[in-house]
Structure 1
Amino acid sequence: MEITNIFFDLDNTLWDFKKNSTNTLNEIAFKFKFENLGINSTKKFISIYNRFNDQLWALYRLDKITKEKLRSERFRLALEYFNVNNIDIAEKIGIYYINESPKKKDLVPHTKTVLKYLKEKYRLHIITNGFEEVQYKKLENCEISKFFSTVITSEQIGVKKPNAKIFEYSLSITKSTKNNSIMIGDDLEADIIGAEKYGIKSIYFNRNKSKHQYNPFKEINCLSEIFQIF
């Protein structure tokens, strides 16, 4: 059957999470005067923060910690690494990050041209594990919400990608089928393997050209390659 519905992941597929997060963390280092806290390398702090954040997100995807735990712990642990044991500062930094990072507008290259092209022929949707209150802000601030018919968040359903239930729900709410849908995302396990195990074809956006053993339906390294597929 012909593809009529395209489901996109958001973070690092369309919205440049890495770049926007780094810019926000640099702002935090300046605003909270990291040098006065004994943190002399913002680059090192960002590296340590990303390590803890990735570990906590992995636990969050497995439902082993709550959203609140993830938010409170990632900055506390990063600061603690630099011997800054101040829960109050960690909480203030966490609030600043959640408020400010969604305002950042950097998109993955070719995002708008690809979405404009696809929108003329397909119904476009978002499936995201990101926090609901910030994902909508990202879409609005980057002026790409207009391209999407539906935004599905894991918090709406109570399960996260790669759980089959989120894909089942997404097809149901958009009145799509496995055969007329395709998933595009940068996370091999959550987006690609999750979708294909459920029976939806996928396009793995392997932007960093990471080595892997999986054989997805399609694989691209740049969003502009989508023009050659659709």
Structure 2
Amino acid sequence: MVFLSDMALFLDLDNTLLPSKPAYKYALTECAKDWENRKLGGDFLSLYESARTKVKNQLVGHSSNRLRLLCFKLMLDESLSSGFQTKDIIDVLWMEERYHFHFLSYLKNESKKENYQTKLFPKLLALSNKFPIFLTTNETLRTQLLKVSSFLPDHFRFTLITSEEVGHEKPTTEFFSYLLELAKENPEDCILLGDNWDDDVLGANRHGIASVHVPEMWDEGREVNEYPFESSAPIWKAPNTVAALDFAELWLSKRQK
């Protein structure tokens, strides 16, 4: 598709476009039931939190620190008094399957709600036909493909960039350099929307990209205000994702002229 604009819109995915935090919480609650029903031993939530901390500390800055499979393997290592055996592999893989099942089930149900169907999704579709959109995320490719296909509208146009593909996570220079090179745009002609202050907002700002901080997807209000913040590019705060998208559309349109 040929765009009339030389501008680019960078969008964070988790908790900016799709509600990952409640989906994650729901998935863990359901996985705890699966763990107990399968009689895998120990308290699921305490084992999971311990494993998650170890994985994140071991793999700081590496996209693999997001893999739940690593957590479930470590949990089985810790909970089996007789030691891990070949037969236990099926339980690790089963738990990963259940985690994704619950997570994606939550997203599918959430996507049917009116806020998404009448407000967010139509706006995304319209913008994707007007500007090139890049989804930026610190995650593995398979996980994000599953999320997007379960949640966002079928005809939404975008380029997906994951930290697994880049080899570095936001807010590193490597990630944003890769993003700008792929977009073939100058930083001052781009704007990024994201919920994470460090990874999204400051990461973009350090590379001369304007940004809109969206701490909550669905807070009340429409007003977008600029932060009184000395920086290489402007930073605004929006009360919700739709307001941020409206602001970004206006900003990009003004830059075109």
Establish whether TM, by shorter chain, passes 0.5.
yes
Partner of 1:74: 71
Alignment equivalent of 1:19, drawn from 13, 17, 22 = 22
For the 8 Å contact 2:212–2:244, the answer to whether it is kept is no
Structure 1 distance, partners of 2:214, 2:65, is 29
Higher alpha-carbon Rg: 2
Matches within 5 A, 1:37-116: 45=45, 49=48, 53=52, 56-57=55-56, 60-63=59-62, 67=64, 70-75=67-72, 84-85=79-80, 88=88, 89-90=91-92, 92-98=94-100, 101-102=103-104, 104-105=107-108, 106=110, 110-116=119-125
Using a 3 Å threshold, how does the CA distance of structure 1 residues 38 and 173 change in structure 2: closer, same or farther? Answer: closer
Q: Is 2:8 the counterpart of 1:5?
A: yes
Q: What RMSD in Å do the two structures reach over aligned CA positions?
A: 3.7
- Match of 1:138, as an amino acid? K
User: TM-score scaled by structure 1?
Assistant: 0.74
SS across alignment from 1:146: coil
For the 8 Å contact 1:61–1:161, the answer to whether it is kept is no
Structure 2 distance, partners of 1:92, 1:181, is 42
How far does the alpha carbon of each residue in 1:144-183 deviate from its partner, in whole angstroms, 9 at most, with x for none?
Answer: 3632331111111211111112111112212222011011
- Match of 2:94, as an amino acid? K
Give the length in aligned residue pairs.
218
Structure 2 distance, partners of 1:159, 1:195, is 15
What's the CA shift for 1:223? Answer: 1.2
For the 8 Å contact 2:41–2:80, the answer to whether it is kept is no
User: TM-score scaled by structure 2?
Assistant: 0.67
Q: How much identity, in percent, do the aligned residues show?
A: 24
Using a 3 Å threshold, how does the CA distance of structure 1 residues 125 and 58 change in structure 2: closer, same or farther? Answer: farther
For the 8 Å contact 1:184–1:202, the answer to whether it is kept is yes
Structure 1 distance, partners of 2:31, 2:67, is 18
- Match of 2:24, as an amino acid? S
Structure 2 gaps of 5+ residues are 220-226, 251-257
Q: Is 2:158 the counterpart of 1:149?
A: yes
What's the CA shift for 1:195? Answer: 1.0
Structure 1 gaps of 5+ residues are none
For the 8 Å contact 2:6–2:185, the answer to whether it is kept is no
